[in-house]
Amino acid sequence: MLDRLPFLIGLRYVRAKRRNHFISFISLTSMLGLMLGVAVLILVLSVMNGFDHELRTRILGMVPHTKIEAQGGMTNWKTLAERLEKRDHVIGAAPFVQQQGMFSSEGRTQGAMVNGIEPSYESKVSIIDEHMTQGSLDDLAPGEWHVVLGDLLARNLGVGVGDRVTLLVPEASITPGGVFPRLKRFTVSGIFKIGADLDANLAYANINDMQKLGRLGDSVGGLRLELDDLFKAGPVTNAIVNDLGSGYRGIDWTYTHGNLFQAIQMEKRMIGLLLMVIVAVAAFNIVSTLVMVVTDKHADIAILRTIGAKPGTIMRIFIVQGMAIGTIGTVVGVALGVVLALSISDLIAWFEALTGIQFLDPNVYFISYLPSQLQWGDVGVIAGSAFVLTFLSTLYPAWRAARIQPAEVLRYE
């Protein structure tokens, strides 16, 4: 019976109505604070995981994991692509020609990076096929001078499939009439939508057309490589360049988007740490609750001691009470946090549609919606940390309760 006594009394103290309503208020506040802290921490970390996931799948699905370029252009790209695809960690290779330029249509202009691609190779290194909203990459036939635009780029230019746009490249053509910028008319054959800033500054054309526009002959700018593990891009790129020898250079994704990825990771750690402090504050509010309960229950403790309860038993009573408060707050907080993490994207989208306010401007942020990816490992760490902090917060009040001397208390009763 004495073994069950701490649980029976501790749980009864949680349910009991107290003469001092302030104690009940502090207890409820501690529970709500712990609940909200846990829920917000799960939600925020899920959103940060969502940004991290979107960066990997969307941005790095469009941006090459690594690029191999050759001085003066690359003419033997087919042979080199077959050779590189046989290397460890390389799962695909595709040629490219990149040209920075400016599109114009009916008085509207927009700068963009135009990627000259070989449609049959592009699916090896890019997810562009999965995000075509109109048209297809197969429409980029050589000599047709077709172009595929990002959704925001097409909207800024006010064009759609079948419309004509003019590409101006920053290279001059010398003619008998003088020096003129190089221009070429393209027909829009497709539109893609990634949901990122690439939609506003990226376009695709056939690699043969871009070779003619850039007067490159048969050479290409280089090869884009897809790896089975993007975090091995640095060592893999260095190994390839060392094997190819002088005249080649490699650029992996960490040079172009590494800062963004590192910023997300750092923000996740710092925000997690700050929110864990909130959870700690809520958990240690239980100290105040239990100290006041111990003061209120001096007579009960003294009676229990006189009938044979040991100091350890008294300690366990208040540890059980504090852990019960913390468990309720943590469990409800976990449930609320999981529900919010799974539905926050839809809730924000609904609110944006209702109010017409866009929280994430794609011209500023790399995605245009709020992503969320719940990871149960994070939930476990958060819940476990909350339980540990709750347990630590019960030790001092329970120790004080165990030190109460029944003779001194009962003398005044």
Buried b (16+ CB within 10 A) or exposed e, 144-165: ebbbbbbbbbbebbebebeeeb
pLDDT by residue (tens digit) across 104-122?
A: 988 888 989 999 999 888 8
Interacting residues of 78 by C-beta distance below 8 A, sequence separation 6+: none
- Quote the distance between the C-alpha of residue 43 and its chain's center: 12
What integer pLDDT is reported at residue 154 of this predicted model?
Answer: 92
This prediction's pTM = 0.68
Q: Which residues of the chain have pLDDT under 70?
A: 1-3, 10, 13-24, 172-181, 260, 264, 361-367, 407-413
For 91, 203, 349, 352, 358, the CA distances from 355, given in Å and listed in that order, are 45, 32, 10, 5, 9
| Residues 44 and 293 sit within 8 Å (Cβ to Cβ) | no
pLDDT by residue (tens digit) across 367-389?
A: 677 888 898 888 998 899 888 88
What integer pLDDT is reported at residue 229 of this predicted model?
Answer: 82
- Quote the distance between the C-alpha of residue 367 and its chain's center: 11
What integer pLDDT is reported at residue 16 of this predicted model?
Answer: 59
What integer pLDDT is reported at residue 1 of this predicted model?
Answer: 41
What integer pLDDT is reported at residue 203 of this predicted model?
Answer: 93
What integer pLDDT is reported at residue 334 of this predicted model?
Answer: 93
What integer pLDDT is reported at residue 409 of this predicted model?
Answer: 64
